[in-house]
Structure 1
Amino acid sequence: MSAPSATELKPGHGGLGKDFLRLWQSYTVSAAGSALSVGALPLIAIMVLDASPLQVSLLAAIGAISSAIIALPLGNLVERSEKRATMAIADLLQFAALAGVPLAAALDALTYPQLCVVAIVQTSCTIVNSAASQAYIKHVVAPELRTSANARLDTVNWTTQSAGPPAGGALIGVAGPLVTLIVDAVSFLASAVLLRRLTRFPAGKAKEGRSRRELLAGWTFILGHGGLRPLYLNAMLFGGAIMWSSPIMAVVMLKDMGATPLEYGIALGVPCLGGLLGATLSPKTVTLLGVQRALLVFGAARTIWIIPMAFVGPGPSAVLAITSIDFFLLLCAGIFNPIFATYRMNSTPDGLMARVGTAWSVSSRTIQPLFITLGGMVATASTSRRSLLIAGVLCLGSAPFLPWRGRLPGDVHEPAPRNPADRSGAAG
């Protein structure tokens, strides 16, 4: 079976192709379900199993670290697998894992180890699905439209992150966390059904086997690429610093600033609109500035915002100040992320797409819990504001790894689409 090229596929909404539109619809359904159930597993551990604070913390850590170990050999398997089937299987596994929790609870058979397994399955399948979907997008979307495609996916992320947690919190308050988990499970089942409409294309040509060389091929390529290597270090340091600051910011707002839970929820949700706006502006930004300048300008701009947060004092204006600062941070990140995702996609050979994506995800999910732990230790040893300030310095320290000098390897300025309708795909 020969694979259809991007130019052979019939155009769909926004000129991105019908297969991308179908993938986007599937992604939207599962992302919405996941956003509604954010925090449901810890709540179930607490409310149903009466788990201790240590057990709740370990639930997150076990899920992140174990899934990273499991996902490592999966990269090569995903590379050799048909991507539509891989994404559907990952969705079905998540459906089964999540649906098993309320079923076990109804039978009074739910255990803490089962929740740990669910956390591992969730994170592992997310890594696999992301790697397969990026490979699929590269296959079906023309190069000049990939920033619009990645921006369109990011608009889903920012929209669900903004609206999902408050709606999920309300649903938990009315029906309990088990119901939100059912909704999340059904969303993955619906996503798997929607994926059946995608065009199949042959499996990749990655070598079989689990040799060290094949397992580490993603990292080998990233670290050997003159453009991706510094951006990889930038992403790990920036993402780690952001995760360091997140729980510390909660302590600072709720304890030091005296914010109410409602005000804290507003400060979390409203800035996501900045990310949504940024993702919408991303395709036009890369057309105006080019890939290298856009990555440099907005990559640097997104690093400056945590430090001011450490100096916001208590009072009525504190929540407004934090919300405004976070809005601009996410605005810059919203512009940067789709451009970077496209650059990584264009720079990676087809036969390495899944392994590079898996390597990137595994690195993030391994490093970020370490940063969160360090942030808590620093806050315990000194103060929460000092820990937040250190996170800001680390975030700023990621800027030197941006493309400051010379031509970015593989930087191809993306021309504006000939059909004005092509741009509308990025608007989400």
Structure 2
Amino acid sequence: MSLLQQNVALIDETKPEKRNRGLSRQFWALWAADGVSAVGSQVTLVALPLTAVTYLNASPGAVGLLRAAGFAPVIVLALVAGALLDRRSSATVLRWSSWGQAALIGVVPLAAALHVLTIWPLVVIALLVSSLAVFAALASQSTLPETVDVDQLTTANARLTFLRGLAETAGPAMAGFLVVALTAPTAMSVDAVSFAAAALILLGVRTARRPPATGTGTGTGTAAGSLGIAEGARFLLRHPMLRRVAIAGGTLNLFSGVGAALQVIFLARELRLSAAFIGLLFAVQGLAGIATSLLVGRLTRWTGLGWALVLGLVAEGAGALLFSLAAGPHWLILVTAGTGMAVGAMVVPLYNVNHISLRQAIVPRELLGRVNACARTIVMGTLPVGSLLGGLLAATLGTRPVLVAAAVCMLAAGGWLATTGVPAVRTVADARRLV
């Protein structure tokens, strides 16, 4: 039996998920650690730029550089991180990433207390924390399949998505309170403590160290070859469903990035909504995503795996189009824009959870870090490109026309995936047979 067959041999996708078997203690430890660190990270998401703006009085250029430091490692480090991860215990990597982020973030309030904090060390800290976050995200995706059975992957990923959604919804409000009560740099100490707590919780999670697979991807004399990165890329690109789903997701995120860059500008300047109403719309968006994350497994069993992925992309594009067409009386603007944002948020878990679960179920464990990294680079690497493109196009063409065009392109990405044969794949077992 091949390694790939071993990974899916226990799947019986023709039956509903067994409800009398709970998720393991190791999964709940992973879940708790993820939740604690996610809440803390929301504090830093708010407090870090405020530290630069209000505490250090940084220039717009410096603030932009600080933001870029958070994006760059996702594009630059993901492939190398995935390859290195396949040579180590993923739980150990996740634990030490948490310790590292705790130490780095803890430097900020300490330096502020000593009155030695300046903008450039803050940028370096942001870059290093973001780099460790890349390792942590990939390590989490590699750790989860070793804590649950294969037929529990969708449920487990949905639980994590739900928890992160709660953190993203409640975290910023808590962060605002902490910044007011403690000052921005001091508030970041909460995140440092949260990462330290997560690292301690992760002591209850154990995964095996897996030696890298040998194959044609190694021994090429290049850095990519010596790390086996090409082997992970080949697996992803040779599997018809994994390749198509990743390409469609990356294409959609390119244009989603365009919309994300212009969303607040459109609401505030074009639609003339107050900050209070804009905040309300984002709260509705967050709650919509949380609600759907609990139903992903049930919806996937009803539609089939392939249609769940397609519908996730198409509906996100439809929500973006509805948002871009918001106009008229104030109440109609709120209903149209709010519905569009809610629809888009509701279906994101449908794509994300199933895409991650699909890779975790059918990719051999010793390749999972590299395949996850390649998929993450394709799907997420287009977001900052889209954000940059959105700003440039809006300056010339206007905000609404660019939002409408981006939404149509998002719909086209989902429509293309619907024509590829992916909807015919109802289960992970069907996807395995496409190899």
Q: Which TM-score tier does this pair reach, normalised by the shorter chain? A: 0.7 to 0.9
Match of 2:13 in 1: none
Return the match for 1:264 from 260, 278, 282. 278
Moved more, 182-191 or 71-80: 71-80
| Match of residue 212 from structure 1 | 224
Distance 1:48 1:217 in 2: 47
Specify which of 370, 375, 379 is matched with residue 360 of structure 1: 375
- 3-state SS of the aligned residue for 1:237? helix
- The answer (yes or no) to whether the contact 1:94–1:125 under 8 Å persists in 2 is yes
Q: Which moved more, 1:25-34 or 1:127-136?
A: 127-136
After TM superposition, the structure 1 = structure 2 runs for residues 332-411 of structure 1, keeping only pairs within 5 Å, are 332-406=347-421
**2:15 matched residue in structure 1:** none
Q: Is contact 2:97-2:136 (8 Å) kept?
A: yes
Distance 1:298 1:410, change over 3 A: closer
CA contact (8 A) 1:75 1:355 kept: yes
Counterpart contact for 1:279–1:335, Cα < 8 Å = yes
1:291 and 2:305 correspond: yes
Shift of 1:248: 0.7
Partner of 1:425: none
- CA gap of 1:85–1:32, structure 2 versus 1, over 3 A, is same
Distance 1:324 1:13, change over 3 A: farther
1:58-69 correspondence runs (5 A): 58-69=65-76
Corresponding residue to 1:185 among 186, 192, 199: 192
Deviation at 1:409, TM superposition (A): 9.4
Is residue 412 of structure 1 aligned with residue 427 of structure 2? yes
Partner Cα separation in structure 2 for residue 55 and residue 104 of structure 1: 19
Counterpart amino acid of residue 248 in structure 1: L
Cα distance between partner residues in 1 of 2:61 and 2:409: 27
Q: Which residue of 1 aligns with 2:246?
A: 232
- Structure 2 equivalent of residue 25 of structure 1: 32
Name the CA distance, whole Å, in 1 between partners of 2:123 and 2:155. 37
Report the Cα offset of residue 17 of structure 1: 0.9
1:108 alignment partner, SS class: coil
1:33, 1:183 within 8 Å by CA — same for their partners in 2?
A: yes
Distance 1:153 1:93 in 2: 22
Mean alpha-carbon deviation: is it higher for 338-347 or for 94-103? 338-347
| 1:319 is aligned to 2:305 | no
Which moves more between the two structures, 342-351 or 355-364?
Answer: 355-364
- Find out whether 1:273 has 2:280 as its counterpart: no
RMSD of aligned C-alpha atoms? 2.6
For 1:411 and 1:139, the matched residues in 2 are separated by: 24
Aligned residue pairs total 408
Instruction: Tell me if the contact between 2:262 and 2:399 (Cα under 8 Å) persists in the aligned partners.
Output: yes
Q: With structure 1 as the length reference, what TM-score do the two structures score?
A: 0.88
* Map 1:155-194 → 2, pairs under 5 A: 155-194=162-201
The letter of the residue matching 1:211 is: A
Contact 1:296 1:404 in 2 (8 A): no
CA distance in structure 2 between the partners assigned to 1:101 and 1:243 by the alignment: 30
Tell me which residue corresponds to 2:59: 52
Q: Aligned to 2:120, which of 102, 105, 113?
A: 113
SS for the counterpart of 2:318 is coil
2:134 is equivalent to residue 134 of structure 1 = no
Q: For the residues of structure 2 that align with 1:14 and 1:183, how far apart are their CA atoms? A: 36
Shift of 1:327: 0.9
Q: Report if the CA contact (8 A) 1:222-1:229 is conserved.
A: yes
Aligned residue type for 1:186: V
1:255 to 269, 286, 295: 269
Q: Tell me what 1:305 maps to.
A: 319
TM-score by length of 2: 0.86
Cα distance in structure 2, aligned partners of 1:405 and 1:363: 18
Tell whether the 8 Å contact from 1:274 to 1:327 is kept in structure 2 after alignment. Answer: yes
Contact 2:74 2:381 in 1 (8 A): no
Alpha-carbon distance change, 315 to 176 in structure 1, aligned in 2, over 3 angstroms:
farther
1:91 shift after superposition: 0.5
Deviations 1:84-109 (A, max 9, x none): 21001110111111111111122222
